[in-house]
A and B are shown apart, each in its own frame.
Chain A
Amino acid sequence: MGITKKVTVLAVGLGLVTLSACGSSDGDDQGGGGSKTVTMVSHNSWAASKDVIAAFEKQSGYQVKVLEDGDAGQAVNKAILTKDNPQGDVFFGVDNTLLSRALDNGLFQPYEAKDYDLVLPEFRVDEDKHRVTPVDTGDICVNYDKEWFGEHDLTPPKTFDDLIEPEYKNLLVTENASTSSPGLGFLLGTAAKYGDDGWADYWKKLKANGVKVVDGWEQAYNEEFSGSAGGKQAKADRPLVVSYASSPPAEVIYADPKPETAPTGVAEGTCFRQVEYAGLLSNAKNPEGGKALLDFLLGKRFQDDMPLNMFVYPVREAAQVPQEFAKFGPRAKDPETMDPAKIAANRDQWVKSWTSLVLK
C-alpha cells in the first residue's frame, strides 16, 4: 500500500501543478471583453505572411492567435460542436459547399466588415444579415500534364463534355466526393452544368470512360497524376486530375530552378467556383477583437498578401493578383457556380447517389 500511495500523492501533485500552470496561462488570454488577444480558428491550409500579421497586431493592439483544427470539413464541424463555448473569436475557412451547415447551426453572429462594399458583387452572400464575410476564392478545375499531351500529340480537353470523349479514356483521376473538398466541388460542377437530372447520366459516361476515384487530393495529385513531382517519381499514368486553377502557378513557384512555363495547365471549361468565408463566432469572448480581425481579413494588405500564401484569389475589388497567377493560372472566365442554399438542400443526397453510382 505504502509505496503506491506515496507515488500516487506525488503524481497527483505533479499533475495538479501542470494543470493549474496551463490553466492560468490560458486564463490570461481569455479575460473577457477587454482582452488583448484575438483568436482565430481555421483549417490547416491557413497561411499568412508574418509581417502582415505583425502589422495588424501593431496597428490594432491585439495579439493574434491562430488555431488550426484539421481539414476544412473537420474545422467547420468542430466549430459547430463547440459553438456554445467556442475556441476563438473568429472562424475562417468555411466554403460555399458547407456554408449553410454553419449558418443553419447558428455558428456566426452578424457583423458587416468595414470594406464590405469593396467585395466584388459575385462573392456576396447573406446580405441581409451579414453573418459571414467573403475572404478568398478559388476554382476547382481539371489540370492537365502538358508534357504527356505533347508526347501523345493530343489536344488537352477543355470542357466537361470533352472528358467523356473516347480519346480521353482512362486519363482522368478525381477524388471521392464524400471525403474530399475538390472531389465534392467537381461533382457540384457537373451538377451545375448538367442539372439535377443530368449529372448522374454524365457520371455514368465518365465511369464508362475510365475515370479513377481515389480518396483524397494528396493521392490523386501526388500519386496518380503524371504531371506532378510525386507522380513522375511514382510513374503515374493519369495526365488529367481534378485540382485547383492555382495549381499550375504553384508548380512554378515551388520549383528550383523556376521553369519558364508551368508544366501543367487548366481545362477552363471544367471549373467550379469555391468561395471561403470568415465570420464572428456566436459566443466570441472578444467580439471587438474579432471584428477588427474581420476588417483586417478584408483589408487591402491581407488581400494582396493572401494569394501566394494560400494559393487563392482575393475577393476585394482591385486587389493585386501576383504576376505568377496572371501568367500561369489565369482565372476561369466562366466557372460553374451554385447557390449555397441549393448545395445545402442537395449535397448529402447527391453524394449518396454519386457514391453508389461511381464507387459501388
Chain B
Amino acid sequence: MAVPVAFFAVFFAYPVAAIVARGLKADGTWHLGRIGDVLAQSDVRQVLWFTTWQAFVSTALTLLIALPGAYVFARFAFPGKQVLRAMVTVPFVLPTVVVGTAFMALVGRGGLLDELWGVRLDTTVWAILLAHVFFNYAVVVRTVGGLWSQLDPRQEEAARMLGASRFAAWRTVTLPALAPAVAAAALMVFLFTFTSFGVVQILGGPTFSTLEVEIYRQTSEIFDLSTAAVLTMIQFVAVGAILALHAWTVRRRETALRLVDASVTARRPRGAGQWALLAAVVATVAVLLLLPLAVLAERSFSGAGLGYYRALTREDGGVFLVPPIEAVGNSLQYAVAATAIAVLIGSLASVALTRRDAGRLVRGFDALLMLPLGVSAVTVGFGFLIALDEPPLDLRASWILVPLAQALVGVPFVVRTMLPVLRAVDARLREAAAVLGASPWRAWREVDLPMVRRALLIAAGFAFAVSLGEFGATVFIARPDNPTLPVAVARLLGRPGDLNYGQAMALSTILMIVCAVALLFLERLRTDRTGEF
C-alpha cells in the first residue's frame, strides 16, 4: 500500500497541487477570491454546461449504439470475432491527433455521409458526439459484454418455462444482473467524454469548448494560471463525484453472481432476427469504427505506393535528427518501461485493496487511483516542471519522466483489470496454505499468482497499449533525437509538403498495427473474469 500511495503522492498529487497553488497564490498570500470571480464569468458557466451536456449525450449515444454490440459479442459465436473485438479497441488507444484526421473522412467534406446524403457534420456538435462513440465503443462492449457472456442463459430460459414472456424474462432476470455493469460502463464513458480534449478541439472547431480544452488554453496559450487553477479544481470536484458514483456501482456489481464460462454461452446465431442483429452490429462497426481507420491506411499508400514508408527510413535531417521509423523503437522502449511501472504499482494497489482488513480509507484509494484519467495532461505536465525540480527528484530532464507520466494513465487500467480477479480468489485457499505452513509470500505465489497471471498479462497489455498512444504528457518531454510515435506523427503533420503528410499517415498506420497486434495478443489471453476492459 505504501508504494502506490507514495507513487501517487509524488508523481500526481504533489505536481497537481503545486501548479494549482502557483495559480492561486501570489506574493505569498492565497487569492481564493479568484474562485468566485472565475465562477461568476458567464463563459465559464457556459463551458461547464456544455461539458456536462455533451458528456451526458455522448454517454447515452454510446450505450445506445454499443449495447447491441455487447450482446452480439457476448452471445454469438461467429468467424473473425476475436479480430473484430481487437479492432474495435484500436480507436480507444489511438492518439486523437491521428483519429481526428481519419474521422473527418466519415463526417467531413467528401466523407461517406457527404457522398451518400450530402450531410456534413464537421464543426457541428454531432461530429464530437459520434467521435465519442467511436472512442468509447470498446469500453461498453468489454465492460458489459464481459459480464453478459458469463451470465447463465439457463436462468432466463427457466423464467420463460415458468410462463414469462421473452421481454419479461429479460427484464426480470438479465437486466438486474446487467444493470450494475451498464452503470459502471456508462460512468467510465461519462468520465472519458467529460474530460475530452482532442476530439473537441479537432472535430468541434473553435466554437466548442470543454473544461479540459479551456484548462489547456488558459495554461499553455493565455498563461492565466489562476483561471486554469480554478478550472482544474472545478474539474477535480466533478470528476471526483463521478468516480465516487462509479466506485459505488462497481462495488454493487461485485455481489455474487452465478457466472459460467463464456465459451459455453456463445453460439451461432439462429433465425432471421439474430442474423439481422449480427449483420447490423457488424455494419455499424464497419462504418463507424473500421472505415476511419481504413482511410488512414489508404492515405498512407495513395499516390506513392510504399514510397512514404520508404521515406520513413531515411534520415531527413530536417524534421528529425533520426529516421522517423526509429520512433517505433523509442515508443516500444518507453511503453515497456511504463508498463513495468504501471503493473508494479497497479498490482501492489490491487493486492492492498483486496485485503480483507482493508478499511474505508483503502477502498477510497481505489477511486483516487482513477483520478489521473480525469485530470488534464497539461496540468500534470506543467506540475511536473515546477514540482520535480529539486534533488533528489530533479527528474525534469530525465527520460524516466516519460514512462512515469504514461504509467499514471496505465495504473487505473491495471487496477480495474486485476481487482475483480483478486477479489474472486477465495481467501480460504490462502488460509489453508498458511495452515499447511507456507510463508505468506509462498502462499501468494502458489495461490494468487496462478489465478491472476492471465489478468496480469492482460493488464500489462493494456498499460502497454495506452502508453503507446499517450500523447499529452509525452509531447512535453520527448527529445528531438528520440521522438515517440504519436509525437513523430504530430511533428510530420506540423509541416507543409506531400512527403511529410504521407509519412504521417504511414507512421499512423504503423502505430495502428502495433496497437492492434498488442490487443489481439490480449484477446488470445482473455480469460473469463478479467475485469472491465
Contact = CB atoms under 8 A, between A and B. Distances in A.
Contacts of B496: 221, 228, 243-244, 247, 250-251, 254
Contacts of B443: 3
Max chain A Cβ within 10 angstroms of own Cβ: one of B205, B221, B487: B221
Contacts of A60: none
A152 interface: no
Contacts of B481: 66
Contacts of B440: 1-3, 6
A81 B100 CA distance: 31
Given A19-B392, A255-B498, A359-B206, A234 B397 contact: no
Contacts of A19: 392-393, 395, 400
A87 B396 contact: yes
A176 B397 CA distance: 32
A23 B392 contact: yes
B206 A215 contact: yes
A222 interface: yes
Interface string A212-251: 0111111101110000111001111100000110010011
B497 A255 contact: yes
B278 interface: no
B98 to A, nearest CB: 11
B382 to A, nearest CB: 6
Interface string A166-200: 00000000001011000000000000000000000
Interface string B366-382: 00000000000010011
A346 interface: no
B223 A80 contact: yes
A290 B491 CA distance: 27
A345 interface: no
Interface stretch (B76-84, B266-274, B471-479): B471-479
A66 B222 contact: no
A15 to B, nearest CB: 7
Interface in A88-104: 101
A73 to B, nearest CB: 5
Contacts of A308: 318
A228 B502 CA distance: 11
Contacts of A357: none
A122 to B, nearest CB: 26
A46 B483 CA distance: 13
Contact of A78 (B382, B400, B491): B382
A26 B388 CA distance: 13
A353 interface: no
Max chain B Cβ within 10 angstroms of own Cβ: one of A39, A214, A228, A230: A230
Nearest to A16: B392
Interface string B318-342: 1111000000000000000000000
B318 A66 contact: no
Given A46-B480, A74-B220, A215-B201, A67 B397 contact: yes
B450 interface: no
Contacts of A230: 101, 493, 501
B364 interface: no
A64 to B, nearest CB: 11
A234 B104 contact: yes
Interface string B424-449: 00000000000000011101100000
B242 interface: no
A49 interface: yes
Contacts of A217: 494
Max chain B Cβ within 10 angstroms of own Cβ: one of A29, A81, A229, A243: A229
A228 B476 contact: no
Contacts of B2: 8, 12
B302 interface: yes
Contact of A22 (B220, B344, B398): B398
Interface residues of A, number: 80
Contacts of A326: none
A221 B352 CA distance: 51
Contacts of B441: 2-3, 6
Contacts of A256: 304, 307, 311, 498-499
Interface in A2-61: 2-4, 6-8, 11-12, 14-15, 18-20, 22-23, 25-27, 29, 39, 44-47, 49-50
A119 interface: no
Contacts of B478: 68
A82 B222 CA distance: 17
B452 interface: no
A178 B207 CA distance: 12
A70 B491 CA distance: 11
Contacts of B261: none
Contacts of A159: none
A254 B476 CA distance: 26
B247 interface: no
Contacts of A45: 494
Nearest to B225: A81
Contacts of A214: 123, 205-206
A11 B2 CA distance: 10
B347 to A, nearest CB: 8
A26 B394 contact: yes
A69 interface: yes
21 contacts: A2-B439, A3-B440, A4-B351, A7-B348, A8-B348, A15-B7, A18-B400, A19-B392, A44-B491, A47-B480, A50-B317, A73-B223, A77-B382, A78-B382, A82-B389, A85-B389, A222-B101, A230-B493, A250-B497, A254-B499, A348-B222
Interface of B: 1-3, 6-7, 22, 97, 100-101, 104-105, 108-110, 123, 201-202, 205-207, 217, 219-223, 299, 302, 304, 307, 311, 317-321, 344-345, 348, 351-352, 355, 378, 381-382, 385-386, 389-400, 439-441, 443-444, 475-476, 478-481, 487, 490-491, 493-502
Interface of A: 1-4, 6-8, 11-12, 14-15, 18-20, 22-23, 25-27, 29, 39, 44-47, 49-50, 65-71, 73-74, 77-78, 80-82, 85, 87, 101, 176, 178-179, 213-219, 221-223, 228-230, 233-237, 243-244, 247, 250-251, 253-256, 308-309, 311, 348, 359-360
State the 4 A-B residue pairs at the shortest beta-carbon distance, nearest first: A254-B497, A235-B110, A2-B440, A229-B498
